Amino acid sequence: MPKDINGWQNITAPPWTGVPAALTSELHRALQRARQLGLEFLNTELDLAEAFLDLAETTGNAASCRRNMLNAVKALDAIARFLEHLSPELPQRRMLAHRTAGLRARLMACGSRLQPNG
Average pLDDT, the chain: 82
User: Is residue 78 within 8 Å of residue 25, measured between CB atoms?
Assistant: no
pLDDT at 28 over 70: yes
Domain containing residue 102 = 43-112
CATH number at residue 101: 1.20.58
**Dihedral angle computed from the Cα positions of residues 78, 96, 112 and 115, in that order, rounded to the nearest 10 degrees:** -20
Query: Which one, of 8, 66, 14, 76, lies nearest residue 42 by Cα?
Result: 76
In a domain, 85, yes or no: yes
In a domain, 99, yes or no: yes
In a domain, 51, yes or no: yes
Go through 87-103 and write b for each residue having 16 or more CB atoms within 10 A of its CB, e for each that does not.
eeeeeebeebeebbeeb
pLDDT at residue number 98: 94
Q: Provide the domain count of the chain.
A: 1
In a domain, 38, yes or no: no
User: Is residue 72 within 8 Å of residue 103, measured between CB atoms?
Assistant: yes
In a domain, 17, yes or no: no
In a domain, 12, yes or no: no
In a domain, 6, yes or no: no
Q: Mapping DSSP to helix (H, G, I), strand (E, B) and coil, where does residue 44 land?
A: helix
What's the rounded mean pLDDT across residues 47-53? 97
pLDDT at 118 over 80: no
Q: Mapping DSSP to helix (H, G, I), strand (E, B) and coil, where does residue 86 land?
A: coil
In a domain, 81, yes or no: yes
